[in-house]
Amino acid sequence: MKKIVLMITAVIFVVAGASAQIHKPVKWTVASKKLNSKEAVVFIKATIQNGWHIYSQNVKDGGPIPTSFQFAQAADYALTGKTAEPKSKVKHEEVFKMDVGYFTNEVIFQQKVSLKKGTATVKGTVEWQACDASQCLPPDEYSFTVTIK
């Protein structure tokens, strides 16, 4: 009898877990390009599901959670400037009572680095919030590593 109850309970959890919708509307990829022996660019690309968007890095206080980057410190490279982003779309969001910048479909952020040894392994994390017309998901993170040769 215990085995039957355990089996039924396991089936219920499997069915419930399978029917729960987990939204993962943003996929991230990372690449790099060496410009010369002392400089490189790290490209961090977000591919965003149709109907969803993420926010610019340049959102004012009181607005949605902006996309942000953290890079690990290392002896073989140093960041050059801030992470660059293309021009964002802008819309007024009444819930925040402000205009906010956002990206749909895909966006490529770029971080220049100066190489101290000619090669480097760049590690970092991007945090973002994805929203569609009816909901915003909790902030999410993606950790990345890219080797520059």
- What pLDDT, in 10s, does the model give residues 55-75? 999 999 999 999 999 999 999
Give which of 84, 140, 141 is closest to 111, Cα–Cα: 84
Give the integer Cα–Cα distance in Å for 101 and 97.
13
Which pLDDT does position 23 carry in this prediction? 85
Band of residue 118 on the pLDDT scale cut at 50, 70, 90: confident
Q: Would the pLDDT of 146 be above 60?
A: yes
Which pLDDT does position 139 carry in this prediction? 96
Mean pLDDT of 42-54: 98
Mean pLDDT of 21-47: 95
Band of residue 114 on the pLDDT scale cut at 50, 70, 90: very high
Which pLDDT does position 56 carry in this prediction? 98
Mean pLDDT of 34-45: 97
